[in-house]
Amino acid sequence: MNPAVPANAWVALALLGVTLVAAFALSLRARGAQSLEQWSIASRGFGSVLIFMLMAGEIYTTFTFLGLSGWAYSRGAPAYYIIGYAGVAYTLSYWLLPAIWRRGAQWQILSQPEFYRFAYDSPWLGHFVAFIGTVALIPYLVLQLKGLGILVAESSYGLIGAHTAIWIGTVATVIYVILSGVRGSALTAALKDALVLATVVGLGIALPHTLHGGIGRMFDTLIAQRPDFFVLPERGFSGPWYTSTILMTVFGFYMWPHTFGSLFTARNEQAFRRNAVFMPLYQIVLLFALFIGFAAIGAVPGLAGADVDLALLRVTRQVYGPWVVGLVGAAGLLTALVPGSLIMMATATILARLLRALPTGERIDEVRTARMLVVLVAVVALTFVFRGGQTIVTLLLFAYAIVTQLFPSLLLALWWPRRASAVAAFAGISTGVGIVVWSTLADATIASVFPSLPGAILDLNIGVLALVGNLVIHVAITLLSPPRTISHTAAADRPAP
């Protein structure tokens, strides 16, 4: 259902273009990278305010902007998990992040693979973790690029086709990444957060008001029409699904290579404890994204399957003129550009380091190689975007199920260091990732393999099953291996940067 195109529709696309140019300009201000460290992490110089902005920037992604409202529109109560997991994740972070940071400072490391390398005294485990991180990042990047394509196509009122829009979005992201490094992202992240906050809160209040006469009235109407929509069902996206999905998301939350790496940019561990206090408040703003999704239900009926991600933009187009659409699109553009660029940077950096670790790799200029690899990463992601078919939230849950498999070996490295066994870690992670990938390829769930189990267990998120298998294997092999003497002189042996 395509609304008629108004005469000043070009305004929307123009606003997007202006925002893109502004983002490029901000990133150019941060030019002049020398070493890979400077380019990708800015060497541990950030204070807590910048850390806050950088980590907050990672909350507002295409997932929360388009995906969350899309799920609210199509599924109702199950979308609440996205509001809930924040409380659990930040509570965990208060204790988990300082522990990771302390090891990082002690070992003088800057990235996730190095952590595992030193914790398990095994360079090859570090490379393996890097590889798994990359595997998990690809679907995450795919969803960002998908979202970017949607934003450009919808803001153009359909004048730009979906495929062209995806190309435009991807090329813009690649240019943005190549122009800057993490410092550029921090500045654009601040702009992005201001804009997305204003947009989401504004729409979240205005849309229910315009379409229903207020948020309370909106719920009155919807509850009367579909009372079951706002509670979790008995089977399917049920209580066990909700709790297990939250747990899986929480355990995977800090396991993303770029998130993990950014931890080491903090000046001290206090920054994390303070973030644990304030970040949950930030998450409450996501309620407005839920309201937008609910408001769209009556106004834009008929979106189904992967198209539910269009809900926010379609309802905006329907109710407001091109100026608002452009503003919303600009906010959305940044929510896809900033995390998308972070992910591309992280993937390219990991791959550049992996190449350098090869026997013939010593002469490689890491920064130039990383920049070239960004293009390769973009192309690979694009092939998946064009194959299509998944909602943004589904893609993210898949990516989470993979990256969360790194959590058991992180925990065991922190709390069982004397028995740390690289072989056990490798076996555990492989088991977990294997279960996730197999279940996705075979389109299997716990139900299809063990149909006679009680309903509660059948609904559990497959990532949780994989996590259990992961932990069991890891612990079992650790117990079977002799205790190792970990070389703590590793930090002193490193060549000076």
Partner 1 sequence: MNRPYRLLALLPVLGILLAPWCANRVEPRIAGLPFMLAWIAACVLCTSLVMWYILRRDEAYEAREADTVPGDMPR
Binding stretches for partner 1 (CB under 8 A): 77, 80, 83-88, 90-91, 94, 214-217, 219, 223, 227, 230-232, 238-240, 242-243, 246-247, 273-274, 276-278, 280-281, 283-284, 287, 290
Count of helix runs (H) and strand runs (E) in the chain: 25, 0
Question: Please, which residues bridge with residue 46 across strands?
Answer: 266
Give the integer Cα–Cα distance in Å for 44 and 38.
Answer: 9
Please list, in sequence order, all residues whose beta carbon lies within 8 angstroms of the beta carbon of residue 36, skipping any fewer than 6 positions away: 349, 352, 353, 366, 367, 370
What is the closest distance, in whole angstroms, from the C-beta atom of residue 271 to partner 1 in the complex?
12
CB-nearer residue toward partner 1: 157 or 282: 282
What is the closest distance, in whole angstroms, from the C-beta atom of residue 378 to partner 1 in the complex?
35
CB-nearer residue toward partner 1: 84 or 417: 84
What is the closest distance, in whole angstroms, from the C-beta atom of residue 215 to partner 1 in the complex?
5
Give the integer Cα–Cα distance in Å for 303 and 482.
Answer: 57
Give the integer Cα–Cα distance in Å for 137 and 372.
Answer: 18
CB-nearer residue toward partner 1: 280 or 434: 280
What is the closest distance, in whole angstroms, from the C-beta atom of residue 246 to partner 1 in the complex?
6
- Tokens 């199950």 found at: 78
What is the closest distance, in whole angstroms, from the C-beta atom of residue 163 to partner 1 in the complex?
37
Please list, in sequence order, all residues whose beta carbon lies within 8 angstroms of the beta carbon of residue 356, skipping any fewer than 6 positions away: 362, 364, 366, 369
CB-nearer residue toward partner 1: 83 or 187: 83
- Whether 419 and 481 have beta carbons less than 8 Å apart is answered as yes
CB-nearer residue toward partner 1: 267 or 274: 274
Give the integer Cα–Cα distance in Å for 328 and 16.
Answer: 9
CB-nearer residue toward partner 1: 122 or 461: 461
- Tokens 């909106």 found at: 218
What is the closest distance, in whole angstroms, from the C-beta atom of residue 297 to partner 1 in the complex?
14
CB-nearer residue toward partner 1: 238 or 445: 238
Question: Please, which residues bridge with residue 266 across strands?
Answer: 46
Give the integer Cα–Cα distance in Å for 119 and 125.
Answer: 10
Please list, in sequence order, all residues whose beta carbon lies within 8 angstroms of the beta carbon of residue 230, skipping any fewer than 6 positions away: 76, 77, 219, 222, 223
What is the closest distance, in whole angstroms, from the C-beta atom of residue 340 to partner 1 in the complex?
27
The H or E element spanning position 169 is helix 162-179
Comparing CA positions, the residue from 402, 80, 395 lying closest to residue 242 is 80
What is the closest distance, in whole angstroms, from the C-beta atom of residue 180 to partner 1 in the complex?
33
CB-nearer residue toward partner 1: 95 or 416: 95
